[in-house]
C-alpha cells in the first residue's frame, strides 16, 4: 500500500479546513485560509491559495483540473481586499481562474473562464467557456453569459437549470469513486 500525499499547506497561522467526504487530488494544492465544504472535490493541478485573504468553497462544489483560485489582500483601495467565495453545487470547469470574486449557488463556470476581483456571479448562472468577467461586474441570476467581456446572452431554460444540479451530483458520484479507489490501494 502506498501513502497518498496530502496536498495541504499552512500559511503563517492558517491551515485549510476540510469538510467531510472531500476529495483533493494528490496533484492539487490548497494553501492557507481555505475552507472546503462537505463533498467538495478538487481535481489535478488545482491551486487554491488563501494566503492574503480567505477562500470558502461551498458543499458539493467541484473545482476541475488546472483551476487557479486566489484572493486580493486588504489595501487602501479595498479595505477588506477581495476574498474568494464559491457557493454550493457549483461546477468550475477546467483551467478556470477565479480571483477575489463571489460565485453563487448552482452555477456552471465554463472551461477557460476568468472572473476578476469584486465580480459577483449570482445563483443559477451559466458562464460560457472562455468568458472574461471584469472586476466589479455583477451577473444576474438565471442567465447565460458569454464572451470577453461577458455579456448576457439569454435566460436559462428549465433544462439548463436542472443540468446545474445534475452536474454537481455527477461530480459527487465521480469523487466518491476516486475516494473508494484510494481506500483500496
Q: List the chain domain ranges.
A: 8-184
Residue 1 has pLDDT above 70, yes or no: no
C-alpha cell read off for 104: 453563487
pLDDT band at 3; cut points 50, 70, 90 = low
Q: In angstroms, what CA-CA distances link 40 with 19, 21, 175?
A: 8, 8, 8
Contact predicate 71/54, CB 8 Å: yes
More confident residue, 144 or 6: 144
Give yes or no for residue 185 having a pLDDT over 80.
no
Residue 146: CB atoms within 10 Å: 17
Cα separation, 170 vs 59, in Å, equals 14
How do residues 41-86 score in pLDDT, each as one tens digit? 999 999 999 999 999 999 999 999 999 999 999 999 999 999 999 9
Residue 23 clears pLDDT 50, i.e. is over it = yes
Average of per-residue pLDDT across 82-102: 98
* Residue of 158, 169, 171, 119 lying closest to 140 (CA atoms): 119
Domain 8-184, CATH number (from 2.40.30.10, 2.160.10.10, 2.40.30.170, 2.60.40.10) = 2.160.10.10
Per-residue pLDDT, 2: 47
pLDDT at 35 > cutoff 90: yes
pLDDT given at position 4: 60
Per residue in 114-168, pLDDT (tens digit) is: 999 999 999 999 999 999 999 999 999 999 999 999 999 999 999 999 999 999 9
- Position 184 scores a pLDDT of 85
Q: What is the per-residue burial (b if ≥16 Cβ within 10 Å, else e) of 77-100?
A: eeeebbbbbbbbbbbbbbbbbbbb
Q: How far apart are CA 57 and CA 93, in angstroms?
A: 15
Amino acid at each position: 500500500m502506498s501513502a497518498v500525499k496530502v496536498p495541504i499547506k499552512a500559511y503563517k497561522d492558517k491551515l485549510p479546513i476540510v469538510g467531510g467526504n472531500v476529495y483533493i487530488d494528490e496533484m492539487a494544492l490548497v494553501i492557507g485560509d481555505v475552507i472546503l465544504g462537505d463533498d467538495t472535490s478538487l481535481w489535478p493541478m488545482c491551486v487554491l491559495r488563501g494566503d492574503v485573504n480567505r477562500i470558502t468553497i461551498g458543499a458539493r462544489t467541484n473545482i476541475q483540473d488546472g483551476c487557479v483560485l486566489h484572493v486580493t489582500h486588504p489595501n487602501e483601495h479595498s479595505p477588506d481586499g477581495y476574498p474568494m467565495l464559491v457557493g454550493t453545487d457549483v461546477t468550475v470547469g477546467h483551467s478556470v481562474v477565479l480571483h477575489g470574486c463571489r460565485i453563487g449557488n448552482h452555477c456552471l463556470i465554463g472551461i477557460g473562464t476568468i472572473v476578476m476581483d469584486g465580480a459577483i456571479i449570482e445563483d443559477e448562472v451559466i458562464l460560457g467557456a472562455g468568458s472574461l468577467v471584469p472586476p466589479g461586474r455583477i451577473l444576474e441570476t438565471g442567465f447565460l453569459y458569454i464572451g470577453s467581456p461577458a455579456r448576457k446572452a439569454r435566460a436559462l431554460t428549465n433544462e439548463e437549470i436542472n443540468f446545474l444540479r445534475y452536474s454537481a451530483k455527477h461530480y459527487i458520484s465521480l469523487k466518491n469513486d476516486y475516494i473508494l479507489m484510494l481506500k483500496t490501494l
